[in-house]
Chain A
Amino acid sequence: MSLLIVTPIVAPLLAALAGVAFRERPVVQRLISLAGPLSMLGSGLALLVIVDSDGIQATNLGDWPAPFGIVLVADLFSAFMLLMAGIVSLAALLYSFATLRERNIRFGHYSVVNLMLVGVSGAFLTGDMFNLFVWFELMLIASFVLLALGGGRRRIEGAVKYVAINLLSSAFFLSGAGLLYASTGTLNMADLSVKIAQVDNQGLVTTIAMFFVISFGLKSAAFPMFFWLPASYHTPSIDVTALFSGLLTKVGVYALIRTFTLVFANDVDFTHTLIMVLAGFTMVVGVIGAIAQYDYRRLLSFHIVSQIGYMLMGLSIFTPAAIAGAILFMAHNILVKTSLFLVGGLIAQFSGTESLNRLGDMYRSKPMIAALFAVAALSLAGLPPSSGFISKLALVRAGIEAEAYVITGISLFVSLLTLYSMIKIWNSVFWRPAPQDAAGPVTEKPGGARLALMLSPALLLIGLSVVFGFVAQPVFELATAAAESLIEPSAYVDAVLGETS
């Protein structure tokens, strides 16, 4: 069992190292780089099956018993996220095979991507607060490099903002972890879940929880800590933006959901109400920001922010149904957001610009891209039959059941605005005739195998999103089971601590 849990961490690491060994062989590097996503996908799937039949799996690193050593835990939630992360990173890599400059490959682009995946897998699997910090840092350092790679003024400026804000967030995380240890004497999440209720000064615990709200809120770009995201996500190459949008903020949300169900679940009245307020503002501010934009990727970056709000909404309502909705929404968002960025890459490839002001008439010239965009955009806005509809339905229904009418109302209203901004893209990129100052044609247009390689990842993700909508029942049951074990963490605690007794 140990092997299966460790694989998604070790395999990308070995792939990253092998990439360095074959520095001068781009083709070999590409093949090797697939090992990371594939190992995550495979072990995510295997762990889902095993956890579903045999219960939560845990392994103690270095054979140090649970509350003292570092423990890796796979429950339904983490296995599911691992699977989704494997799928999107596979798609983003496939896209980059067709677009990435050889110079960047030589520099070690794929090795860095795999190092980032090591951090992502580690963050999903760890059962230890401080270890989570370490995985976060690994993931962030790799993302810093990816963001700054290639140079150019915008890219460097974006990277400065991104790195500075993440250093700040790490300082909050570490302070929180230190204070948490000071008041409970443990950093093992399962152990914390038991011990946190025994702390005399519950006010202090709530204060510590705020450190984590700020830190994870910064990482997941929740209101009012989201400004760095639209300032940096549109600057790197498109495959990197797609990868970031599918993984990084979602890891932040994962950490929020994990800690605020397992550890900080005592003072729900205060903490989760606060998260609910943040969720509402995140949704509204994100979507309003998006409406104002005229740059394809910047517009979608604001949408990332807006949709983080939905995930937080699920967490804040704090019923099994609502958390199941949040999990579904994360999975949906990972697929659709990444595919929309990939479609944006295709648009830019054929027209040479990402400015909505200078695009037009693609409906006639590129019907395939138009179709891909239409399906993905409708899914993002939450229209049936797609993953967006199912996950929003689950969230709204949970909201109404829990009588959280205000946040549910906001979420529906924001869905309308999302649809509006998607229509704005549709109108200016595809529907209207090309404007006078339309971007000149790109000298080299991709064709044949390269075009197929560029189209296939978006097709794969959008296809999955639609399939998701049609086979909603099993996915929904899976998310509900995952959410129930999050709300009722005794099985998790037993799986981690039980091994010692």
Chain B
Amino acid sequence: MNSVLLMTTARLLISILLLFAIFLLVRGHNAPGGGFIAGLVVASAVGLYALAFDIRSARSLLRVHPRTIIAVGLLVAVLSALPGMFSGDPFMTGIWVDFSVGGESVKLGTPLLFDLGVFLVVVGMATIALLWLAEEEG
């Protein structure tokens, strides 16, 4: 496909989609959102890019093979489950650290790390399926 209109809006939309994905990922712990849905948003951004330009450049947009993204995501998720064990708690126990940013208390913890892992796995999975099917069609 070669539509100037789509190409121009795609650039704009993709940056908004990626920002929105980060927003969804971070708010996920206490509000609707989270790693899964954020991953799908990123994958749809990649899909949009593939639609507007071509599949090859969509692949290079990711820099690494989606398979690597899945592996890194799984690794992050597993690692996030381990810290609890060092303090003698069972596997996957959440550890939280309190920060104070401009008077607001911000909590960061291993569940967020786990969500980041989920996010990466979903990005990898969804782009593999999407791009593979798109390649078969084209």
Contacts and interface: CB of A to CB of B under 8 A. Distances in A.
A–B contact, 8 Å CB criterion (strictly below)? yes
Contacts of B81: 10
B93 A13 contact: no
Interface of B: 67-68, 70-71, 74-75, 78, 81, 84-85, 89-94
B86 to A, nearest CB: 11
A21 B71 contact: yes
Contacts of B71: 17, 20-21
Contacts of A16: 74
A61 B85 CA distance: 10
A59 B90 contact: yes
A21 B90 CA distance: 28
B75 A17 contact: yes
Contacts, number: 42
B92 A20 contact: no
B89 to A, nearest CB: 5
Nearest to A60: B90
Contact of A63 (B68, B70, B74, B90): B90
Nearest 7 CB-CB pairings of A with B: A20-B71, A62-B92, A63-B93, A6-B91, A2-B90, A61-B92, A59-B90
A149 B43 CA distance: 25
Nearest to A3: B85
A483 to B, nearest CB: 29
B106 to A, nearest CB: 22
A108 interface: yes
Interface of A: 2-3, 6, 10, 13-14, 16-17, 20-21, 59-63, 72, 108
Nearest to A61: B92
Given A2-B85, A20-B71, A108-B67, A10 B78 contact: yes
Given A3-B85, A20-B68, A108-B67, A13 B74 contact: yes
Nearest to A62: B92
Contact of B78 (A13, A60, A61): A13
Contacts of A3: 85, 91
B93 A62 contact: yes
A20 B74 CA distance: 11
Contacts of A17: 71, 74-75, 78
Q: Name, among A61, A62, A72, the residue most crowded by chain B CB atoms within 10 Å (CB to CB).
A: A62
Nearest to A107: B67
Contacts of B70: 20
A13 B92 CA distance: 15
A62 B85 contact: no
Q: Name, among A2, A16, A108, the residue most crowded by chain B CB atoms within 10 Å (CB to CB).
A: A2
Given A2-B85, A3-B85, A59 B91 contact: yes
Nearest to A63: B93
A180 to B, nearest CB: 24
A70 to B, nearest CB: 9
A13 B70 CA distance: 12
A63 to B, nearest CB: 4
A360 B74 CA distance: 49
A162 B84 CA distance: 39
Given A6-B85, A62-B84, A62-B90, 19 more contacts: A2-B90, A3-B85, A6-B91, A10-B78, A10-B81, A10-B91, A13-B78, A14-B78, A17-B74, A17-B78, A21-B71, A59-B91, A60-B90, A61-B91, A61-B92, A62-B92, A63-B89, A63-B90, A108-B67
Contact of A2 (B67, B68, B91): B91
A432 B78 CA distance: 56
B26 to A, nearest CB: 21
24 contacts: A2-B85, A2-B91, A3-B85, A6-B85, A6-B91, A10-B91, A13-B74, A14-B75, A17-B74, A17-B78, A20-B67, A20-B70, A60-B90, A61-B90, A61-B91, A61-B92, A62-B84, A62-B91, A62-B94, A63-B84, A63-B90, A63-B93, A72-B91, A108-B67
Contacts of B91: 2-3, 6, 10, 59, 61-62, 72
Contacts of A72: 91
A61 B74 CA distance: 18
A350 B60 CA distance: 46
Nearest to B94: A62
A479 B87 CA distance: 36
Q: Name, among A14, A21, A63, the residue most crowded by chain B CB atoms within 10 Å (CB to CB).
A: A63
B107 to A, nearest CB: 16
A6 B93 CA distance: 13
Contacts of B85: 2-3, 6
A72 B91 CA distance: 10
B111 to A, nearest CB: 9
Contacts of B94: 62
B27 to A, nearest CB: 21
Nearest to A72: B91
Contacts of B90: 2, 59-63
A16 B78 CA distance: 12
Contacts of A59: 90-91
B45 to A, nearest CB: 24
Contacts of B78: 10, 13-14, 17
Contacts of A2: 85, 90-91
B80 to A, nearest CB: 11
Contacts of A61: 90-92
